[in-house]
Chain A
Amino acid sequence: MSEATGRQAQPAAAPAIGVEALVGLRTKKPRSLWSDAWRQFRHHRLAMAGSVVIVIIAVATVIGPFLWPIKWNYFDMAQSMLPPSLAHPFGTTDLGHDIFARILWGGRISIAVGVFAMLVAITLGTLIGAIAGYFGGFLDSALMRLTDLFISLPSLPLLLLITYLFRDRMAATFGVEIGMFILIVVVIGGLNWMPVARLVRASFLSIKEKEFIEAAHSIGVGTGAIIVKHILPNTLSPVIVAATLGVAQAIITESSLSFLGLGFPPDIPTWGRMLFDAKDWMSFAPWMVLFPGMAIFLTVLSINYVGDGLRDALDPRRMYT
């Protein structure tokens, strides 16, 4: 008996919430979704801690290089492979670069590449996944086959081809550094959107059949609004995971691109590159790998907690946890 009511309760509850939410959104103007979200976010301690760390790292990489007396590209071979000390808080490299200066400078590029490449991947993936999942049919089929194609592409020759076709052109149009940056971000983003697309589509397939969407349809909400306001927020959690993992992946991928001649000029340090270059020194100069590794880890971990906080904050069902 109780089981039967339980079963009935389940479908009944969903539209109720859906409508309530809709009504809520339409009537109570002063409490917007965003101010609510911010209030909740502030209560999420780990998310706040993550934000603070990210802000510190970001500020350090932006203004740090101006404050720190040693330049990132200055090296002195007489000072090579020194362990951390007051003069060199993170030690020095095999050529005698100050690792702290390089972490600061390289962080600009690594964070920017990580975040922007992730944004490209997430935007592309969400767009394609949403369209495919919502409309289905031919559109779904075509977009998913496109996804299959992109998954199947052998990345190494593709990257070499892209380098060959676009490196000099981009450098000529935007200058070496900016041109490379755009190229790298587009390439990393353009090769990593597929899991996001599949994830978003899968969620769409499931959510678009739910009762509250039916309800939204029935009260005449437009297609665009349904996709953006009603389904998309419900697909956020896998997307946020994909985004945080995507940042880490992009930072590391950037370092491997430079081995194909696609990255920044080889004398510019980025975190991934510093980690790669230092790997053979791991056993006798561990600080050379420790600090770039820590930098990547801290950044990614903080972004993850911020992501967690955002997700909780944007979830209408969960209040003040």
Chain B
Amino acid sequence: MTRYIVRRLLTAIPTLVAISMVIFTILALAPGDPLAEFAVNPSVPPEVRQRIRKSMGLDDPIPVRYTKWFTSIIRGDFGYSFRSRSPVSDLMMQRLPTTLYVIGTAYLIAVLLAIPIGVISAVRQYSVFDTVATTLAFIGFSLPTFFTGLLFILLFSVKLGWFPMIYRATIDEPGLRGLWLKIEQAIMPITVLALFQTAALTRYTRASMLETIHQDYVRTARAKGLSELTVISRHALRNALIPVVTIIALSIPGIFTGAVITEQIFRVPGMGSLLISAINDNDTPVIMAITIIFSALVVLFNLIADVLYGVLDPRIKYE
């Protein structure tokens, strides 16, 4: 196993280099203009806009730009944002705590809710609980976050006035009041995201649980008189977890890149809004930094998932 992990970690490096090349090329070829807003502004003539494009290196050949980026990245330098001239690492550090707090909490809640709901739904298939859970899950999944987010704002900010609709990462009030302000403003975005995540995860848990509880070894475990709880938690659940682990491992890196739409609706200054505005601005250093860290996390968590498969099902071998 250790050899397998080491080998995987070593192959991760060329993988990441290849990924970075592909992403860089896509970014370089994708159309767009950082100064589009000034397009028809007579005080900013087209020549000026073209000169600024050039000064950002947007007109250099792609291999030249890539080499520049690559040589600084191996020195651990993410470079400077074209737009704000801040070091990219500063920008990311400003966003990271908020992202981890809001998006991370939402994912955690989703996992904590989805697994028990999915399991109960499967064990009591077609019961009232299952039907309600299924319906709710599909409402959660059919309604995009732009919709639920807005619904929450209308209900809880406009009608009831319970929560603020604008998220502020700069709250520096001390004590309990500050803490409450920080929690209060995060409730809506966390709920919206958690709802969406829970919906999907519940379905996977339920389906794979259904698959396993009809397996013969589960029947055997029951037959030999083990309590239902033991059967479910010790025998069935463990085997049912493989798809669930896959889905969770796939979505954990997403915590880092944030949730673009939800962040936009509630004005949460997370990584998602940084990424999306960088994309809109052709701010290549920022996009590259975020996506490459994201890819590294993807590679890492897929490795973790592979290792976990082995733990969950000892028959799985990696040569």
Question: Assuming the A-B contacts A164-B31, A198-B250, are A158 and B15 also in contact, with contact meaning beta carbons closer than 8 angstroms in the complex?
Answer: no
Is A61 at the interface (CB under 8 A from chain B)?
Answer: no
Q: Is the CB of B243 within 8 A of A154?
A: no
Known contacts: A2-B224, A153-B26, A154-B26. The answer to whether A202 contacts B243 by CB under 8 A is: yes
CA distance A275 to B141 in the complex (A): 14
Instruction: For the complex formed, measure the closest distance between the CB of B254 and the CB atoms of chain A, giving whole angstroms.
Output: 9
Interface size range on B against A? 35 or more
Residue among A137, A210, A282, A318 with max Cβ neighbours from chain B (10 Å): A282
Contact of A156 among B215, B246, B276 (CB under 8 A): B276
Q: Identify the closest chain A residue to B141 (Cβ).
A: A248
Write the nearest CB–CB distance from B245 to chain A, whole angstroms.
Answer: 8
> In the assembled complex, how far is the CB of residue A162 from the closest CB belonging to chain B, in whole angstroms?
9
Pairwise interchain contact B27-A282, C-beta atoms closer than 8 A: no
Contact partner, B225, options A2, A202, A275, Cβ 8 Å = A2
Contact code string B17-56 (vs A, CB < 8 Å = 1, else 0): 0110011001101111000000000000000000000000
**Is A245 engaged at the interface, CB distance under 8 Å to the other chain?**
yes
- A82 interface residue, CB < 8 Å from B? no
Q: A10-B220, A157-B287 are in contact. List 5 more A-B contacts (CB 8 A).
A: A160-B30, A248-B141, A280-B150, A300-B138, A318-B214
* B205 and chain A: residue at smallest CB distance: A241
The smallest C-beta distance from A271 to any residue of chain B, in angstroms, reads 10
Contacts of A283 in B (CB 8 A): 154, 158
B-facing residues in A112-159 (Cβ within 8 Å): 136-137, 141, 144-145, 147-149, 151-154, 156-158
- B residues with a Cβ closer than 8 A to A are 11, 15, 18-19, 22-23, 26-27, 29-32, 126, 134-135, 138-139, 141-144, 146-147, 150-151, 154, 158, 200, 203-204, 207-208, 210-211, 214-217, 220-221, 223-225, 242-243, 245-247, 250, 253, 275-276, 279, 287, 291, 294-295, 298-299, 302, 305, 309, 313, 315-319
User: Main SS of chain A's interface residues?
Assistant: helix
| A161 / chain B contacts, CB cutoff of 8 Å | 26, 29-31
Query: A13-56: which residues lie under 8 A (CB-CB) from chain B?
Result: 13-14, 17, 46
Segment of A94-102, A169-177, A222-230, A289-297 engaged in the interface with chain B: A289-297
Residues of B within 8 A of A6 (CB): 220-221, 223-224
Which residues of A approach B to under 8 Å, CB–CB?
A: 2-3, 5-6, 9-10, 13-14, 17, 46, 136-137, 141, 144-145, 147-149, 151-154, 156-158, 160-161, 164, 194-195, 198-199, 202-203, 205-206, 209-210, 234, 237-238, 240-241, 244-245, 248-249, 252, 255, 272, 275-276, 279-280, 282-283, 289, 293, 296-297, 300-301, 304, 311, 315, 317-318
